[in-house]
Chain A
């Protein structure tokens, strides 16, 4: 299985940039997607295909990368962005998720 490694937490200030990384144990090409999960809610798709913004998602969210190294950015961070962010690869079966990065306020 492809293992996706994310940092467990990131503390940011409102209005600043938050950058979350996701490293894959082998290449997933551009089959990397990012989800936001707020406490008590289901996940929500934000970015698909490494860098494509899902419908209705604000442009302050973005993604980049290919192969094994990916980055998800929120710029600027707003209070409503406090959540846990997961990367997911769909290049190989089984699809896998990263362990999640909890975004916290400084």
Chain B
């Protein structure tokens, strides 16, 4: 069973940093792109970014590129999201997702076919 479990969320003061982790199991982690998506309270989904299998390519949504850093440790089957200079606008549930899909015939980059349950981050003094 494919499983993604986020951790590291919580209450953080404005201007501080926080690092989320996503532990993957049930699949060959180093064969897949991975990504992060967030959802502010009552709002829609926002794509944060993605990282390829060997960390040689990392893409971000431009507005978050200077604040957020995506990384991975294939030996530990873990994806990370380092967040800095946090503000109230960063209050959200943060989801990690498997971000590439192979249907047996074709490869579909960017398709998020497995998601974690989400980590809640609240930025407040």
Contacts and interface: CB of A to CB of B under 8 A. Distances in A.
Interface residues of B, number: 27
A4 to B, nearest CB: 10
Chain A, interface residues (CB within 8 Å), range: 20 to 34
Chain B interface secondary structure, helix, strand, loop or mixed?
strand
Contacts of A44: 115
B62 interface: yes
A48 B101 contact: yes
A44 B117 CA distance: 11
Given A100-B44, A100-B45, A94 B61 contact: yes
B62 A99 contact: no
Contacts of B108: 31, 33, 48-49, 90
Contact of A43 (B45, B61, B110): B45
B44 A48 contact: no
A95 interface: yes
Contacts of A98: 44
Contact of A94 (B60, B111, B114, B115): B60
Contact of A49 (B35, B62, B106, B115): B106
B66 interface: no
Interface string A16-43: 0000000000000001010101000011
Nearest to A95: B47
A80 interface: no
Interface string B24-58: 00000000000101000000111101100000000
Contacts of B60: 94
Contacts of B37: 43, 97
Interface in B71-101: 95, 101
Contacts of A35: 45, 112
B94 to A, nearest CB: 11
Interface of B: 35, 37, 44-47, 49-50, 59-62, 95, 101, 103, 106, 108-118
